[in-house]
């Protein structure tokens, strides 16, 4: 038996950053569903939360899981479910792009707290500012900077 513990912090936004998830109640319903669906699909979602226009998800990868497949399963199914339930006035979609960064075991609790405190965090900082911080902090390069 293999023992694997690889944490990934995922962040993705709604299509065009539309604040579809405008109420705390709606967000909590979506996060609860994402976690439940992940469990049903064998995805260990350690923590999920976000704000009106984006989602943060801390996932522990399984031995046969890829980042791309996890995002496809989590985003695709949750988008389908949100629309099926009629939870938004317009058709709901997630943006195609996402961030995925590895998380050291030594800071897992710090990342959980960061994800847990999204409401408070975004009272002071927009998702655009958070996005730009991620670009700088993790030294992501834009694809058109060849």
CATH number at residue 120: 3.30.70.1290
CA–CA separation, 84 and 104 (whole Å) = 37
Q: Which pLDDT belongs to residue 67?
A: 97
Comparing CA positions, the residue from 20, 28, 13 lying closest to residue 91 is 20
The reported pLDDT for the residue numbered 142 is 61
Residue 78 is assigned to a structural domain of this protein: yes
The torsion of the CA quartet 106, 108, 110, 113, rounded to 10 degrees, works out to: -160
Q: Is 33 exposed, middle or buried (CB count within 10 Å of its CB: 0-12, 13-18, 19+)? A: middle
C-alpha closest to that of 88 among 12, 10, 15: 15
Q: What is the pLDDT of residues 92-131, one digit of tens each?
A: 999 999 999 999 999 999 999 999 999 898 888 899 899 8
* Residue 82 included in any domain: yes
Residue 146 lies in a domain: no
- Count other Cβ atoms within 10 Å, centred on residue 102: 10
The answer as to whether 96 is a domain residue is yes
In a domain, 61, yes or no: yes
Q: By residue range, what is the domain housing residue 64?
A: 6-137
Could you identify the residue written with the tokens 């469990």? 39
> Residue 45 has what DSSP assignment?
E
Residue whose structure tokens are 């009629």: 86
98 lies in some domain: yes
What is the tally of structural domains in the chain? 1
Element holding 118 (H helix, E strand):
helix 118-124
In a domain, 11, yes or no: yes
Q: How confident is the model at residue 146 (pLDDT cuts 50, 70, 90)?
A: very low
Residue 1 lies in a domain: no
């Amino acid at each position: 038996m293999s023992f694997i513990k690889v944490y990934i912090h995922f962040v993705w936004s709604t299509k065009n950053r539309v604040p579809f998830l405008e109420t705390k109640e709606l967000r909590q319903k979506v996060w609860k569903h994402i976690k439940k669906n992940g469990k049903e699909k064998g995805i260990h979602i350690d923590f999920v939360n976000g704000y009106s226009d984006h989602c943060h998800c801390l996932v522990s990868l399984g031995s046969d899981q890829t980042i791309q497949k996890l995002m496809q399963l989590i985003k695709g199914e949750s988008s389908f479910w949100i629309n099926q339930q009629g939870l938004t006035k317009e058709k709901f979609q997630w943006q195609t792009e996402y961030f995925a960064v590895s998380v050291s075991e030594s800071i897992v609790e710090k990342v959980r707290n960061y994800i847990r405190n999204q409401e408070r965090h975004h009272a002071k900082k927009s998702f655009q500012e958070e996005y730009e911080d991620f670009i700088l902090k993790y030294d992501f390069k834009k694809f058109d900077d060849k």
